[in-house]
Amino acid sequence: MITGGASGIGLATAQRMAEAGASLVLGDVEEAALARAVETLRENGARVVGVAGDVAVEADVVALREAALATFGGAHLVFNNAGVGAGPAIGTPKAVWDWVMGVNVDGVINGINAFVPLFLEQNEGHVVSTASLAGLGGVPGMGPYCASKFAVVGIAESLFHELRLSGKRVGTSVLCPGFVRTRIHESERNMPEDLRAYNDDPTVRAIGSMAGDAVKAGIEPRVVAEAVTAAVLADRFWILTHEHAAVRTTEQRAAWMGGGDPPRINLEGATKP
């Protein structure tokens, strides 16, 4: 089961998993894009159903589990991938913070609650949750996004330790990519109607345009899908598609905590593997 399966990293992972023989349940809030993704995957021979819904709504994520059980008789791999970004730390309205946190954090929580008890019961399963390099170090212009992705890293680490203590054959991974060539910089397409005027703000537009340039310079979603597949097969926790940047960010923060200078943020460094 893959949330946000209609575009970008989710769609590329769906294609990769279908090639590996998996049956797929794709969730997405964008109904037309979801229908197109399902059709294309079916044309390529995949066994796939699409279920439209919002990951921030618990019942919608439960419906994804029920679709997997009803259609394929089981579920073994959940990819909490749907995500959105908007706004800096200064001046972003609370309703926009709530939207980003709802999709990026509640979406992951709902995925864990819907699938992990089933996985523990059957003593088999794996949960992948998507964070970001923005979950390993703060970045200007991305307050809500960083908050949500730090939360995802924290949830995933907790889940890892709890699963290990359970002694069950259930694994978990956290995906922390740098920039990937997807539609993430056009997240506002899925914003609730009453928040959309926010995107007319010149500062918001300027940040969006910088993020768009970095996304376009990023790696292909297919490369991320390969890394996700390899990590699931190897039962590896950290999925660092931009390993150099991830390690450097972490080392720079540690040096800063130890009294050193704050890191100099360079978005270009987060485009390269």
The catalytic residues are 145
Is residue 55 close enough to count as binding ligand NAD by CB under 6 A? yes
Per-position DSSP letters for 193-216, written without gaps between them: GGGGGGGGSHHHHHHHHHHHHHHH
Q: How far is the CB of 214 from ligand NAD (least distance, A)?
A: 7
Question: Could you give the CA distance from residue 58 to residue 7 in angstroms, rounded to a whole number?
Answer: 21
Between 120 and 195, CB nearer to ligand NAD:
195
Is residue 64 close enough to count as binding ligand NAD by CB under 6 A? no
**CB neighbour list of residue 76: distance below 8 Å, 6 or more residues apart:** 119, 124, 125, 126
Between 83 and 141, CB nearer to ligand NAD:
83
Read off the amino acid at residue 256. W
**DSSP reduced 3-state for 25:** strand
Between 127 and 184, CB nearer to ligand NAD:
184
Cβ pair 187, 141 in contact under 8 A: no
Is residue 3 close enough to count as binding ligand NAD by CB under 6 A? yes
Binding segment toward ligand NAD, per CB under 6 A, in 51-59, 115-123, 161-169, 244-252: 51-59
Give the number of residues in contact with ligand NAD, rule: CB under 6 A.
31
Question: Could you give the CA distance from residue 157 to residue 166 in angstroms, rounded to a whole number?
Answer: 14
The two tokens of residue 173 are 């991974």
Is residue 68 close enough to count as binding ligand NAD by CB under 6 A? no
Site string for ligand NAD, 191-220 (x = CB under 6 A): ------------------------x--x--
Binding segment toward ligand NAD, per CB under 6 A, in 4-12, 114-122, 197-205, 252-260: 4-12
Contact with ligand NAD (CB under 6 A) among 42, 47, 183, 253: 183
Is residue 98 close enough to count as binding ligand NAD by CB under 6 A? no
Residue ranges of E strands in the chain: 2-3, 24-28, 48-52, 77-80, 125-130, 170-175, 238-239
User: Cβ of 67: how many Cβ atoms within 10 Å?
Assistant: 19
- Residues in contact with ligand NAD by CB under 6 A are 3-4, 6-10, 27-30, 33, 54-56, 81-84, 103, 130, 132, 177, 179-180, 182-184, 190, 215, 218
